[in-house]
Copies of this chain bind each other. A is one copy, B any other.
């Protein structure tokens, strides 16, 4: 696929995700760690303007002098920016103007891309911008779900969406003999800086489940008092349960004897056979402890990935998100992309139904703080072979 085609498809996909939203849905931010759809639309566009058009397209004029302030996310080196907690106050500029901004930037990007002599540096930045936008597409799914799913009347996003229930296609366990394995990205395809640096890791022999934990299995854990037994929980996890009054996965509601679940189709009964979703790493760890098993490391997961079915749920590992050997921050603002988040986060492997397809590679390192539940996250178990 040419860069132009890739760019066009991705830009259009973002807008397709937003198409069922009302103008009011675009603007609200329910909690600081989510962003309004409107902000995602503007921010992904600003990325192309700030890192590419401003520098590489002759005579480019910024669409609006305030937008750099409004749509910078966290790049300290790119100047002042709107506080994250205030993203949901932005009723002006209106959504229509954000769409005009997108069109304006798209037109100028095409002008730049039509140039025959596009340098590798610029091409790499365009590809980075597209992958960046795909990450925000996934956040659009999770943030829209959060915004709708935390309203008291549980409105549906789209009654026909396919982003809902997923099932295991396999059961049983896969054994791996361990030894020194290769980890990390090699080759020419796109990847993020945090995957780079192919290197070696020594693994002890282990066994990993072919199936993810199901809703039914997790209900057993709840009904066995899993949320009430501090022995099963990490100390920080137990504190989190008490402070936030957590007693079930995000979006689960018990009405009488029935378990319901908010989905993008609205509130539905829970399917016991489907894969568990919206689980924190603390919950995943406690569940594993209850089963006398554990979560895999990111290295075990990657070593076994070719023989596993994955792709419906982000899978929590028990690996801290830390730099690979030889990791180097890119110079300048792009260098803020990943490295500075390497503390207090855990790696998730795989992808979810909300992930863009070409984000599917076994070296991908997603990362979140262990209490986060709003991603499409699930549990795969492992154990050592003895």
Contact = CB atoms under 8 A, between A and B. Distances in A.
A90 interface: yes
B230 A28 contact: no
Contacts of A230: 76
Nearest to A22: B94
A245 to B, nearest CB: 14
A114 interface: no
Interface string A1-41: 00000000000000000000011111110100000000000
Given A150-B89, A153-B66, A95 B24 contact: yes
Nearest to A181: B202
Interface stretch (A52-60, A231-239, A270-278, A348-356): A231-239
Interface string A160-190: 0000000000000000000010000000000
Contacts of A323: 294, 318
A91 B25 contact: yes
A236 B344 contact: yes
Interface stretch (A122-130, A135-143, A212-220, A335-343): A335-343
Contacts of A77: 231
Nearest to A342: B234
A152 B24 contact: no
A82 interface: yes
Given A147-B89, A200-B202, A202-B180, A152 B69 contact: yes
Given A66-B153, A200-B204, 13 more contacts: A22-B23, A24-B24, A24-B91, A28-B88, A70-B152, A91-B147, A92-B148, A92-B153, A180-B202, A201-B202, A204-B326, A238-B340, A294-B323
Contact of A236 (B150, B238, B343): B343
Contacts of A341: 234-235
Interface in A44-75: 66, 69-70, 74
Contacts of A234: 340-343
A338 to B, nearest CB: 10
A305 interface: no
A289 to B, nearest CB: 9
A236 B70 CA distance: 22
A238 B75 CA distance: 13
A269 interface: no
Given A74-B235, A235-B340, A326 B384 contact: yes
Contacts of A204: 199-200, 325-326
Best-surrounded residue of A82, A153, A282 (most CB of chain B within 10 A): A153
10 contacts: A23-B24, A24-B92, A30-B89, A66-B152, A89-B150, A92-B151, A199-B204, A234-B342, A318-B323, A344-B370
A65 to B, nearest CB: 10
A76 B232 CA distance: 11
A311 interface: no
A348 to B, nearest CB: 15
